[in-house]
Structure 1
Amino acid sequence: MSTNKRVLPADNDGLGSTSPSSALPAELFEHIFLYVTESPRNAKALPKGNPLTEVTLSHVCSKWRTVAIRCTRLWCYITNDGDDREHLPERFRIYLERSKDRLLEISVSFCSYLRSAVLVEQEILEILAECSSRWRCVSISVTDYVDLMDERGQFRTPLRLCEAPRLEFFKFSINSGCGHHFPFRSNLKPNALLGGCPKLSYLQLDDSSLSAFLPQISNVTVLDIDISNNSQSHIAWPVFLDIAKLPLTALSVIDHEQQGLSGLQLIDFPIDMPHLKHLRWTTRNAEENCIPLCSVVITLLRAPSLETLSLFDVSLEDILDNPRTWIPNLRSMVVVDCQDISSECILNLSSASPNLTDLVIVTTEDCHPRPRSLLSCIGELSESRSIEAGEYPWPKLRTIVAHLEQDPQLDIYRTFARRRFQAFIACGGDENALPPLMLKVPEKYLDQWAYMSVQGGEDCGEEDEDEDEKKHFDLGLAGGGLLQSISVEDYPAWLHGAEKPVRSAMFVEANEFSWDFRFWGLA
């Protein structure tokens, strides 16, 4: 990085003194530089490893260099991408000097087998530990080797003992395929950043880092735990009970279904999470004859503030005879490739979440065994319960996004809409004041249905050519049609509106409490 210290001649303005840009005030240059460096980073417009833009800007001419070096905010983002490893410690020190006393955003990834590289990375970690009082957002990834771990699976670095009083976001991941065995965690006792991190509110860990590098998390409000696909670990029941005691507003878990929960049928107490607003749970590598932790949690959960619930590959069968679920504020639910859908489960969920308005249902071709259609099950219950009990599941439903790879037939959607209409009437609703209900399906289904309708001689309705180019087909339902159209928006993002306590979108990845068909490989 010796080139960074080279001072360009004063007359080397790069564009000439007569250039219009030379008359721009330095403050405007600073805004332009910040836009160029931060906007692509936040929008992920540039690939990882792109040459460091702030360094390039400081090398254009003497004026740009003066402005760039004076702009302390330009040097607050520190990464080990885009440079030779032997120069990294020097570059890190230069960035720390130029950023003055500003809070730092740090993203480093260690992935080399070479001993010389390990020594460099150890030096980098020591440099980072020295400036821990300035940390705001830190992301560390360790892959391919375990030289930074001791025989007990603990980090050897000074990061274990340092203090981070202004740290808000922390992400730590360790490649569990690197051959190191990490001890099983049975509690949430911290073993990293032991000096304290009282402002830490956003924590993202995998199974290995959960064992080897867990800071104090008593004030964490957003927690993301990803148990890797090839891991033998899982979240133990005592650990989850400790997690439930945190003041969480958002929780995302990717875990294994597990054995060893046979005694949970006897549990007769609720899991109270009064602050939780967003819950997402994904199950991997389900074992036979196991009791899924997620099903137990959902059955016992009392979260009066919960707004969004997303379930991926989760068994929906009832575990307990006396469910305690109470999520009255739930507005949005996503269900993807979920098995064992029972009528009792739907009735329990709908009773616990009477204000649900938005539902996403996805079953892919890879879902085996073929699950019972949740859409059909809700329709059947709407018909039967409205007659037997004068009520039906989720009467406030207004939008349903349905992607049913295994059931793409139009009749499933038509029958569902008709049953919902009949249930509304049976429960005393006014036929002339039907509540709105919109079904959204993949565009390929509409094309298929339109083709089949033309072949069969039916009229599916005229295509609506509005400015958004959405396609609408009237299903011709009786009684005015509860479902007036199917709208296609080419897999719109299904945002859950989770609070993100940090500014930089470099930490806002696609799996953080958001719904995007393309990310999950469904587009």
Structure 2
Amino acid sequence: MRWDAHPDGIRNSNVAVLALPAELTDLIFELVLHEERSALFYHRNKKRNHPWTELSLALVCRQWRAVAVETTSLWCTYTFVGQARDLATSLGRLEGYLGRSYPRPLDLLLDFVTILEPLRHLSAPRLEHFQVETNDHLSDFARPPTKPGVYINSLSPTIFQAGAPKLSSFWLQPSLYHCCCPPTANITTLHFTFHEHDLFGSGLGFEAFQHVLRLPTLENLSIKGDLLSVAGACDFYSHPETYHMPRLQNLRLQNSPLLLDALPCLRAPALGSLILEDFTLFDVPDNHIPNYHFPSLRSLALIDHKTVAIQHWSERPLFFYHLTQKITHLTVSQRDAFGDWIVQEVMNTDRNIGPDLLVATFNAEGSWHPEDYVELGNRRICGCSGIALHIPERLLQRWKDGITPEFPYSKIEAAFREIQPISDDESDLILSRNFPPGNTVALIRNGLGLDKGFHSMNWFTMQDNRIAPGPYFHHVSFCFSLTI
């Protein structure tokens, strides 16, 4: 159903669409709003005569207004584009959004340029989650105000300087670190997005990044992109150090070879979940691997491993071997033509990969040979309860249809404790969309065009299913976009 939301778009007359059940009307509203929010927020708001979709829906008739007011997902995003002097006049509208979105948290989308100065000295006693990301067009003020060879090497706050004692989750593009660094005293979740072609560099020095690795409260770290824009990052190679991260529990890296190489230098005794995407395990040389490894690691996810010559596997398998010695859950997802060999090498290596493995999830486009999977299962039959295998539904059906006569399904089934299908609709959901796993507050939205997901275009859910108890602003995520 396509409809341009204007107050006069549908008259208050006797038409069938006005008599739909409230549940169906609710779904239509959410679909309309989903399509509208796919555009960058400031495009619509700079058109003064173009009303907001949620307001348009509420002005059609009494029935639609009643449904719209009760549909909390329509009111979970408050957008402000204007001058700082206009903030006071919009407080009444903001209060309305707070009431209608409750108990869900409210996303505040603000024009970053006009709101930055008030943020510097703002006190945010109940702010828990903060995210800032630029669009593709960096303005001059986003350029780090440093001279060549001079970089930011501290974590001194540049916003919320009056205090943000409950701030625990922080998502940042490092090129904005100079103007958007909040207090980090209680940060438990941190996400960095490094852009490969950052015109101005990050302005972030390696010393500052070392401070990040040494944050005493850090429990969840997610990094997308390599550290090439961080001055002195090559010291990971030339002067390897040990980084003690006593509370780190979840680590996620995408296309970060420098950090992958530095993994053996991390001392993270509580690390239980490691996600590696768009990587090459052979980047980690054997002579860089100490005796220490993550003693609490139970979940390992390998997403889109970069293709290398197969013979290299026998040359540098130690790092991967040590990573798997305590894991109980292994996830391998490969969405290219080379997805079969990574599965084969995981299963057929001479070393005993994952001796305590309980659940193995494979989503490899090109790997369908049952003998590879049976090899993995048979190695666990003796002395343990066996492995639960999760594979795509279409692959399981091929096995049941007897695609390989020498491996009837009964033989495959006997190698595992159980075999569970992954439906086609769920193949991109083999890992939690939210980070850290189990988190109910997803700060990234594909619809805003901020941060594309790990491995899947829909890694972070478009639907706002975040139910947060407590008073207004108890769970508030600030999303800022630069407008030129």
Q: Please tell me the TM-score bracket, short chain as reference.
A: 0.5 to 0.7
| Structure 2 equivalent of residue 493 of structure 1 | 429
Counterpart for residue 190 of structure 1: 157
Q: What is aligned with 1:272?
A: 244
Q: One-letter code of the match for 1:107?
A: L
Which residue of 183, 208, 226 maps to 1:256? 226
User: How far 1:326 moved relative to its partner?
Assistant: 2.8
Please tell me whether the aligned partners of residues 54 and 75 of structure 1 are also in contact (alpha carbons under 8 angstroms). no
Deviation at 1:447, TM superposition (A): 5.5
CA shift for structure 1 position 275: 1.3
Q: Residue 279 of structure 1: CA displacement? A: 0.9
Please state if 1:441 is matched with 2:391. yes
Change (3 A) 1:95 1:503: farther
Instruction: Provide the secondary structure at the position in 1 that maps to 2:197.
Output: coil
SS of residue matched to 2:348: helix
Corresponding residue to 2:212 among 243, 248, 251: 243
1:10-409 pair list within 5 angstroms = 47-48=36-37, 51=52, 53=54, 57=58, 78-80=78-80, 89=87, 92-96=90-94, 105-110=106-111, 122=114, 125=115, 155=116, 157-178=117-138, 180=140, 182-183=143-144, 185-232=152-199, 233=201, 236-246=205-215, 247-256=217-226, 258=228, 263-265=235-237, 267=239, 269-283=241-255, 292-317=257-282, 318-319=284-285, 320-323=287-290, 325-339=292-306, 342-343=313-314, 346-352=317-323, 354-365=325-336, 373-381=341-349, 384-385=350-351, 392-405=352-365, 407-409=366-368
User: Could you tell me how far apart the structure 1 residues matched to 2:279 and 2:162 are?
Assistant: 39
Written as runs of structure 1 = structure 2, the 5 A alignment for 1:413-428 is 413-418=370-375, 421=378, 423-424=379-380
Give the whole-Å Cα distance in 1 for the aligned partners of 2:86 and 2:345.
58
Determine if contact 2:78/2:97 at 8 Å carries over to the other structure: no
User: 3-state SS of the aligned residue for 1:351?
Assistant: helix
Gaps of 5+ in 1: 1-13, 15-31, 112-120, 126-154, 285-291, 386-391, 462-472
Greater RCO, CA 8 A, separation 6+:
2
2:244 maps to a residue whose letter is: D
Q: TM-score, normalised by structure 2?
A: 0.65
How far the C-alpha of 1:105 sits from its partner, in A, is: 3.5
* Mapped contact 2:163–2:183 kept (Cα < 8 A): yes
Cα distance change, pair 240–165 in 1 and its aligned pair in 2 (3 A): same
- 2:93 aligned partner, one-letter code: Y
> Is contact 2:219-2:250 (8 Å) kept?
yes
- Distance change in 2, residues 1:344/1:440 (3 Å): farther
Letter paired with 1:403:
N
Q: Could you say which structure has the larger radius of gyration?
A: 1
Cα deviation for residue 445 of structure 1 reads 3.8
> Alignment RMSD, CA only?
5.1
- For residues 197 and 311 of structure 1, the distance between their equivalents in structure 2, rounded to whole angstroms, comes to 32
Could you tell me how far apart the structure 2 residues matched to 1:231 and 1:513 are?
Answer: 17
Gaps of 5+ in 2: 1-12, 14-21, 40-50, 145-150, 461-484
Partner SS, residue 417 of structure 1 = helix
Is the contact made by 2:254 and 2:276 (CA closer than 8 Å) also made in structure 1?
Answer: yes
Q: Distance in 1 between matches of 2:95 and 2:108?
A: 18
Aligned to 2:458: 519
Corresponding residue pairs, total: 401
Describe the shift of the 1:96–1:358 C-alpha distance in structure 2 as closer, same or farther (beyond 3 A).
Answer: same
Classify 1:257/1:200 alpha carbon distance in 2 versus 1 (closer, same or farther; 3 Å): closer
Which amino acid in structure 2 is aligned with residue 209 of structure 1?
A: L
CA deviation vs aligned residue, 1:281-340 (integer Å, no higher than 9, x gap): 1117xxxxxxx3212331112222222111112231224434265322222211122346
Deviation string 1:217-259 (CA, Å, 9 cap, x unpaired) is 2211111111234325367532332111221221111122639
